[in-house]
Structure 1
């Protein structure tokens, strides 16, 4: 008996025990089940009504059980196997490729006339008829709610067949992806830690043709590069975890899975953070900055980032606020820095940079803070022989751009509301950014002349 149980999962062992110790009895009919439920509900109501106030809370059914502790091995294993069984069942409930092909053929063969344009259309009546013919897995997509979502100014009240099929495909893909991500959610709490997402992306790499050029020795750096984008934008409070539903909703997975396209254009690859050229570019820049080849970046090395015109005080703030190791930053910290610098219009990037600018940690920027950072810009201008610019003029321009609720303080929310956050930050931390702002009219005129010619 013991030998027969070896190799069985905990769920199978429990099922086997349950089958052995359960007496077979006929399954109740639907009416009998309803009658039993009503009786139990009535008994519960009477018991709850007669209980004292202090005891009533004890009668409330338990609806939450905390996850098992690290030392509760049996409970953990049971939970893992139960989740795996649940996710496997959910997978079988999804439409497969053959069923999707059958759906497309059925839609293609039943368009609703008249033919207007190249895209076949379908009316609500024909939509309902097809809904009766499709497999059970597909019936949830043939509802009035789905039809109304896809309705778009057709004079005959029809919807596009291709849009309907794309909608179904998108839903199936989201469900498949959610199940795939959930397999890496070890605790089953609906979120992923960094190591969970790293394992997911590592297993995904061999399935993406656009990444076949990557050497296996680079996989760890690629995974780190990819994961940092998810956590930088989806975990701005640095909790160390992100919700699976946020991963599905953000669109980053679309960019990542775009790499399945073997014919992806060069421009699309360059604009995709997750592509091989992009990951190699970022890592190559890191190696180029690391002049002493110790795998870390010092203040002097990071100051060479971009055009090499970042101010000393700004670089110092990076090292004061970000995680360092013996006074130097590692690749992961560098990735956060790059994501902030390359996405200055995004709220998460502005939040990162604002924290560096707010030298007093007071939650707002005042005239003193602006002068502290702009003095470094003035020093750089002297070194490069540029004409001096008065601080008071720059300060007035910044406050005019932002229009804060308090005329003497600029909060992060003020910066976000103004839509000028990228410009303000660039003026304060980068000589090249300030020069571009100062000469914006000349640069615009030159660009117009180029376009005209």
Structure 2
């Protein structure tokens, strides 16, 4: 039985076999087994409760599917969208048959219409306090007027059903039904009911005024681009219903954020973001078994992902509009479903995977990582080995905030997010700031040479023909093709599409070794 995060014994074996650890052991005069993290069973109870140990012990990798001679092609974005709409159709049908409309809204954010009040301020702040409350109430009243009740939404769907599947003029009804049946048999039409534009305009006259305001002709035509009925030019009514539901959900979500936007500026600080997630926890089905001792670490890991991707200027706050327009909110609310992807960062599996490895690195069990402990980092969500250089660790601990020269869990989460998303613009900016040792805003040949020296030393111990710096420098500049031929910026790395590869070549000896031997990896024979 294996796990995504290696056990202490597995890490010990990997360290004994890796050329990186051999190099460090020779340099520091330590045996490989002295550097291996302690076994989980030996961790002190002051660090972990028994329940938390049990959760770690049950952490397993997702089952690996057996490879077939004719592998199934990966699902496309269109397949994902179709599956989502068909699930919504099924949910609608079940809700109407059972009469329990609340089932339709089980994955939506329920908003308490009662505003959370702040603690009573001092006399000097009472005017500002009253003004904030009045502003919140005004925003609440204005936005809540756009909300639709469950009955109004179901009435809207009934209107769509009434006008759906009408024979488009001037077609013959029998001929039209015969063609439609044939298209369904061949899987061309996959949804239950469709509506054309003429029927849509007639149905629109019976809709709620607010829905009529949302469903314009322009919106109908834009939704047509997702329709699978290219012959009769009809739109699945579930697309219209989903659009209205999404508008209602966005209003509900925005109303929910009012309680946490204490200064009414449209931003959330990290503390307020953690408060929002904390109140979401009881509604997330996938986190029901989470040990209470893990909650602070979960809140830190969850909020840091929002700020890592949505706060590029590092001002300590994120726009509520940016949160709502990103896919991160959908990702965390996905935990209300009965089945969740193992790759979901906000899932319990991901938290245990990251936190368990953090604890294994923390050999002195003080809750922080020293630079020596951090250098044992050999973890990747993709399962590949990672061997960081001392030059990179020095630069990282100098650039990022540390406490008495040690890294806390918050800084470690930022590093893991950057490593797992090296091709993303935010991660590239993260690494460029670390590699830019003089704070110039770009990388030049001197920066590349400084970090490549350690990589070369590691590779040359096992490969006398390790590539020289001039060759690597020329290859990097050829791959990136920067605007300034002597300077590489974060924008250049992101634009070239190979920023993750370049970063790996400078900070990870194993990454460069794999790149240099890519022909053998692709074709071992």
Question: What TM-score range do you get, normalising by the shorter chain?
Answer: 0.7 to 0.9
Deviation of 1:150 after TM superposition, in Å, equals 1.3
Tell me the alpha carbon deviations over residues 361-412 of structure 1, each in whole angstroms, 9 at most, x when there is no partner.
1222222221111110111123445643211111111111111223222222
Deviation of 1:212 after TM superposition, in Å, equals 0.7
Cα RMSD after superposing both structures: 2.2
Q: Quick check: 1:103 aligned with 2:156? A: yes
Q: Quick check: 1:169 aligned with 2:245? A: yes
Q: Quick check: 1:83 aligned with 2:136? A: yes
Q: Is the 8 A contact 2:194 2:237 kept in 1?
A: yes
1:386–1:230 distance in 2 versus 1, CA, 3 Å: farther
Q: Is the 8 A contact 2:146 2:251 kept in 1?
A: no
Q: Which has the higher contact order (CA 8 A, sep 6+)?
A: 2
1:130–1:308 distance in 2 versus 1, CA, 3 Å: closer
1:378–1:208 distance in 2 versus 1, CA, 3 Å: same
* C-alpha distance in 1 between matches for 2:160 and 2:220: 14
* C-alpha distance in 2 between matches for 1:293 and 1:155: 66
Q: Is the 8 A contact 2:195 2:237 kept in 1?
A: yes
Deviation of 1:308 after TM superposition, in Å, equals 5.5
* C-alpha distance in 2 between matches for 1:417 and 1:308: 25
Q: Which blocks of at least 5 consecutive residues in structure 1 are unaligned?
A: 1-8, 10-67
* C-alpha distance in 2 between matches for 1:69 and 1:321: 40
Partner of 2:287: 211
Instruction: Give the secondary-structure state (helix, strand or coil) at the position aligned to 2:314.
Output: coil
Deviation of 1:143 after TM superposition, in Å, equals 2.1
Instruction: Give the secondary-structure state (helix, strand or coil) at the position aligned to 2:268.
Output: strand
Aligned length: 377
Partner of 1:145: 218
Q: 392, 403, 407: which is aligned to 2:481?
A: 403
Tell me the alpha carbon deviations over residues 224-271 of structure 1, each in whole angstroms, 9 at most, x when there is no partner.
10000000111121100010110011110011111111133xxx1x21
1:384–1:299 distance in 2 versus 1, CA, 3 Å: farther
Q: Is the 8 A contact 2:285 2:336 kept in 1?
A: yes
Instruction: Give the secondary-structure state (helix, strand or coil) at the position aligned to 2:205.
Output: helix
Q: 188, 192, 203: which is aligned to 1:130?
A: 203
Q: 359, 363, 385: which is aligned to 1:291?
A: 363
* C-alpha distance in 2 between matches for 1:315 and 1:440: 26
Q: Is the 8 A contact 2:163 2:200 kept in 1?
A: no
Deviation of 1:420 after TM superposition, in Å, equals 1.3
Deviation of 1:132 after TM superposition, in Å, equals 2.0
Alignment of 1:4-83 (within 5 A): 71-83=124-136
Q: Quick check: 1:443 aligned with 2:513? A: no
Q: Is the 8 A contact 1:182 1:244 kept in 2?
A: no
- Using the size of structure 1 for normalisation, the TM-score is 0.79
* C-alpha distance in 2 between matches for 1:261 and 1:435: 41
Tell me the alpha carbon deviations over residues 162-205 of structure 1, each in whole angstroms, 9 at most, x when there is no partner.
11111111111112111112221111111111111111000001
Q: Quick check: 1:422 aligned with 2:503? A: no
Partner of 2:64: none
Deviation of 1:69 after TM superposition, in Å, equals 11
Partner of 1:60: none
Partner of 1:273: 345
Instruction: Give the secondary-structure state (helix, strand or coil) at the position aligned to 2:459.
Output: helix
Instruction: Give the secondary-structure state (helix, strand or coil) at the position aligned to 1:109.
Output: helix
Alignment of 1:314-325 (within 5 A): 314-325=392-403
Q: Quick check: 1:178 aligned with 2:251? A: no
Deviation of 1:89 after TM superposition, in Å, equals 5.5
Alignment of 1:285-434 (within 5 A): 285-306=357-378, 307=385, 309-384=387-462, 387-434=465-512
1:405–1:218 distance in 2 versus 1, CA, 3 Å: same
Deviation of 1:148 after TM superposition, in Å, equals 1.9
Partner of 2:54: none
Structure showing greater Rg: 1
